[in-house]
Structure 1
Amino acid sequence: MASQVPRVKLGSQGLEVSQQGLGCMGMSQFYGPPAPEQDMIDLIHHAVERGVTFLDTADMYGPHTNEMLVGKAIKGIRDKVQIATKFANYIDENGNYSIRGDPEYVREACEGSLKRLGVDCIDLYYQHRVDTKVPIEITVGAMAELVKEGKVKYLGLSEASASEIRRAHAVHPITAVQMEWSLWARDIEEDIVPTCRELGISIVSYSPLGRGFFAGFKAQEAKENDFRSYHVRFTGENLEKNERLRQRVVEIAEKKNCSINQLALAWVHHKGKDVVPIPGTTKRKNLDSNIDSLQVSLTDEEIAELEAAVPQEDIAGDRYNPEHAHNTWRNASTPPLSSWK
C-alpha cells in the first residue's frame, strides 16, 4: 500500500494540513491549455486518498475557473481537505489588471470565492499580492472581519516583505506566508524566513520545482499559452546557463537514486517542519513521484552540495519578467496606516 502523507501544523493558530500540498493553478491556466476537468477532479481525489489534503487555488486562476474546479472536486469530501485560496489580483470588465486590498474588495472577493468553491468557510485566505495603495493594516483588518464572521478560518499573505508581514501580524495573527522557495529561488532565506519563524508563521513554498524546471520541463516543449515559453529564465542564453545548473542536480539525484523532482522537493522539505511545499501537476504519476520525495533523506553535507551546485549568483534571469516584477515582495511596500483616510 502506498504511504500516506503525514500532517503538520501550519502556523501557530491550530491549522493542520498535509506535509505536502497540491498547487492547482496549472490545471486551469498559465502552463498551457486547461486540462480536462474530470481528469483533474480524479487527480484531486487521488491526491486526497494519498493524504495530500492541502489544496491551493486563487480567484485569479482562470480567472475563477480553478476555484470552480476545486469546488466540484471537494463535493462530498469537504471535511477531508484544507482549502487555501487568494484574492487581490483584480481584473475589471475591460480586462484591465490591478491589485486591490481595499476593505470593500476584500469582502467582495471572499464572497465570490465562497460561492465558486461551494463552501461556507475558507480554511486559509491569502492576500495574493500586496496593494501598495492601501496600508496592509487596513487590508488585514478587513480579512480579520471575515474570520469573526466565520467565513474564513486563518489568514495568510503571499509575496509580502518582512516589514509587511510584521505589520500584518500585529493586526491579526498570520498563519502562513506563501513565497517562491526552491533551489533557484532562495532570496527569502535572509530576512523573510527568520521573521516568519520569530512570529510563529509557517512558509508555504510555491513553485518548489522551479516552475517545472527541476521536474524535467523542457522550454522547447512548452504548449500554447504556457508563459514559460517567454519567461526570462527559460529563454535564450539564460536557459543555456540554467540548463547547466540543472544537469548538476540531475547528477546528484542519480547518486541518490531518486528523480530530480524528488531531490528538489526533498531539499524544500528539509528546510524545516514549518515549510510546506505545494507542487502542482496534471499527471497522476508526477503526483505520486512528488509524494515519494518525503522518503528522500538528506544529510547536511548533501544539502550543502545541492546548494553549491545551484549558486544563487549563477542563476540566470529574475524570478519574474520585468512587467510582473513590481508585484514581488521586494516591492511590497504599503503606505503607513496614518495615511489612510
Structure 2
Amino acid sequence: MLLCELNKNGVKIPAVGLDNIYGDNEILLSKVLKEHRNEVFLCSKFGIVIEPNGEFKGISDTIGALAELVKEGKIKYICLSECYAETLRRAYKVHPIAAVLFEYSPWTLDIETNGIMEACRELGVTIVAYSPLGRGFLTGNYKSIDDFESDDNEFRRLIPRFQGENFNKNLEIVHKFNEFAEKKGVTSGQLCLAGF
C-alpha cells in the first residue's frame, strides 16, 4: 500500500522517522505529505559529517547550529542518538535536548550502568528505546541462524549475539523467557515491554 493511500483507508501514522543514510527519503516524503503535513510528526536524523581535515565538529557547534533552526521555527526539537552521558550534558548546556535514542532490550542494558539513564533523569530527557525485543529475538521469528543468515543485506549477521554459538545460547534464553511469559499468560514481547 502506498503511503499516500494510507490516510484514505483510515490508517493513521502520527510519527515517521528518517535518516540521511536512507537516501532521498525526505524529498520523496515531502511530496507525499504535502497535503497532510500537519497530521504527521516527522523525525529526521543525521550523522555528524567529518571535516575535510578528518576532524569532527564538536557537539557544542552542532547543537548550536540546530538551536538556530529551532529559533527560526524550522525544527521543533533536538534529540541525540547513541551518545555518552557527558556528551548529552555538554549538548544540553547549549540547548535543551528532548530525547536520546538507544538500543534497550534484555540483551542491551548498557544505559542502566553507563551513566546515560542517570543523566537523562537529571536533565529530564526522554529515552527512546529501539529494538526492545532484542532485534527480533523475542518476536518468535527466529528459530535457527538459517532464518536470516542467507540474506546478504541482513545486518544481524554482523552482530555477535546472532553469530555461531552465541545465537544458540541466546535462543536458549529466549525459550526460558517464552516459558516464563506463557506461565504469566502473556507473549514474550508483552512481558519484555512491561519490564521496561
* Alignment partners' CA distance in 2, 1:156 and 1:256: 36
Q: Which runs of 5 or more structure 1 residues have no equivalent in the other structure?
A: 1-37, 89-98, 103-130, 269-341
Match of 1:85 among 44, 53, 64: 44
Q: Which residue of 2 aligns with 1:257?
A: 185
Per-residue CA deviations over 1:55-95 (Å, capped at 9, x if unaligned) read 3221113x334x4565466454322321111011xxxxxxx
Match of 2:173 among 245, 250, 263: 245
Per-residue CA deviations over 1:191-246 (Å, capped at 9, x if unaligned) read 11111111011011111111111112324222341111342211101101111111
**1:101 Cα deviation (Å)?**
6.8
* Alignment partners' CA distance in 2, 1:43 and 1:221: 32
Per-residue CA deviations over 1:81-122 (Å, capped at 9, x if unaligned) read 21111011xxxxxxxxxx4177xxxxxxxxxxxxxxxxxxxx
1:220 matched to 2:143? The reply is no
Match of 1:201 among 125, 131, 152: 125
**Secondary structure of 1:152 counterpart:** coil
Q: How does 1:46-65 map to 2 (within 5 A)?
A: 49=11, 53-61=14-22, 63-65=23-25
**1:45·1:73 contact (CA, 8 Å) conserved in 2?**
no
Q: Which residue of 2 aligns with 1:152?
A: 75
Identity of aligned residues (%): 42
* Alignment partners' CA distance in 1, 2:190 and 2:32: 26
Compared CA separation, residues 44 and 205, structure 1 to 2 (3 A): farther
Q: Which residue of 1 aligns with 2:163?
A: 235
Compared CA separation, residues 68 and 45, structure 1 to 2 (3 A): farther
**2:18·2:44 contact (CA, 8 Å) conserved in 1?**
yes
Compared CA separation, residues 224 and 217, structure 1 to 2 (3 A): farther
Q: Return the letter of the residue paired with 1:182.
A: S
**Secondary structure of 2:186 counterpart:** coil
Q: Which residue of 1 aligns with 2:100?
A: 177
**Secondary structure of 1:177 counterpart:** strand
**1:45 Cα deviation (Å)?**
5.2
Compared CA separation, residues 132 and 187, structure 1 to 2 (3 A): farther
Q: Which residue of 1 aligns with 2:116?
A: 192
Could you tell me the TM-score, scaled by structure 1's length? 0.50
How many matched pairs?
Answer: 188
Could you tell me the TM-score, scaled by structure 2's length? 0.83
Per-residue CA deviations over 1:268-325 (Å, capped at 9, x if unaligned) read 3xxxxxxxxxxxxxxxxxxxxxxxxxxxxxxxxxxxxxxxxxxxxxxxxxxxxxxxxx
* Alignment partners' CA distance in 2, 1:44 and 1:201: 32
1:140 matched to 2:68? The reply is no
Structure with greater helix share of residues: 2
Q: Return the letter of the residue paired with 2:146.
A: Q
Compared CA separation, residues 185 and 72, structure 1 to 2 (3 A): farther
Q: Return the letter of the residue paired with 1:248.
A: K
**Secondary structure of 2:135 counterpart:** coil
Q: Which residue of 2 aligns with 1:161?
A: 84
**1:58·1:64 contact (CA, 8 Å) conserved in 2?**
no
* Alignment partners' CA distance in 1, 2:55 and 2:134: 27
* Alignment partners' CA distance in 2, 1:156 and 1:206: 14
RMSD value, Cα = 2.7
**2:4·2:33 contact (CA, 8 Å) conserved in 1?**
no
